[in-house]
Amino acid sequence: MLLRLPTSLSEAQQCLAEGAVPVGGATLVWALWQRDGFPEQAMSLRCLPEANVIGREALGAAVLLHQADARLPEVLRRAASTVGTGAVRRTATVGGNIVGSTLRCLLPAALALNARATVLDRDGSYETDLAEVVSKRHLLLGLRWQAPVTSGYHKAAAEPGGPPPLVVATAVHAGSDGRHHLTVAVRDGYEVVSGTTPCHTGSEQALHSLDRTDLGALPSTARDAVRREVTGVLARSAGS
């Protein structure tokens, strides 16, 4: 197998046009390739500058999970720190986790941040929403968002080999009118749902509004966790 390492978007486009299979850290596909056969050529974005950004409002798809640091909002940093083992986090990439993984541990955090995705195809790069990235399995270049006022992340304890643990990701954002709004994203099993509400009137009103979104259909244990996380993140935002 030939591994191609483009250093520009035009070179990456050419790799795609020539049939190179995108691969991140290969933590998810290596075993499948060993079983089913390796592709003739693969492409990694680890040398592409646009895919290696780490900042207050941006994260590249080729960034390794263990590289997620204090430059990122708390919700995204903590989400990355809980994926797998240390060995996995030193190999797995942001793009591989969001697009290639069935668990998509970073997806709730990205949704809570109202992140937009930049993707690449044979015609060039463009911005889209995360729902399209996940459903169509686009080649992700990176994520961008507006820095939140504050954010939080909760991942329930889970038995090894058991069902995916509950995840609740929260972020408070400042609107153009100066009022805050809250976005909550929850992974329950393999499904991820989210909701947004104004939160300047307090946690009880925010929770009542969130019950009218997709979050209202969650089971009681998940809704209890949402209540705890929303109450906590709004208390922190009041002091920000």
Query: What tens digit of pLDDT does each residue of 85-132 get?
Result: 898 899 899 998 999 888 889 999 999 999 999 999 988 999 999 999
Q: What is the mean pLDDT of the chain?
A: 91
CA 147 to CA 64: how far, in whole Å? 21
Residue 60 and residue 137 share a domain: yes
Beta bridge partners of 3: 42
Residue 186 and residue 136 share a domain: no
User: What's residue 101's pLDDT?
Assistant: 81
CA 95 to CA 131: how far, in whole Å? 14
Bigger pLDDT: 33 or 80? 80
Tokens in use for 80?
Answer: 């990355």
Residue 163 and residue 127 share a domain: no
CA atoms within 13 A on the CB side of 236: 16
3-state secondary structure of 55: strand
Residue 199 and residue 169 share a domain: yes
CA distances from 232 to 120, 132, 212, 228 (A): 38, 31, 20, 6
Residue 160 and residue 109 share a domain: no
What's at 45, amino acid-wise?
A: L
Query: For the ranges 22-36, 69-83, 147-161, which has the lowest average pLDDT?
Result: 22-36
Pair 185, 111: CB distance under 8 Å: yes
CA 73 to CA 202: how far, in whole Å? 22
**pLDDT tens figures, 44-94:** 999 999 999 999 999 999 999 999 999 999 999 999 999 988 988 998 999
Residue 133 and residue 174 share a domain: no
Q: 208 pLDDT band (50/70/90 cuts)? A: very high
Nearest residue to 59 (alpha-carbon basis) of 75, 46, 72: 72
Residue 128 and residue 33 share a domain: yes
Indicate the residue among 144, 175, 190 that finishes a domain. 144
Range of the domain at 82: 2-144
Q: Report how many domains make up the chain.
A: 2
**pTM attached to this predicted model:** 0.92
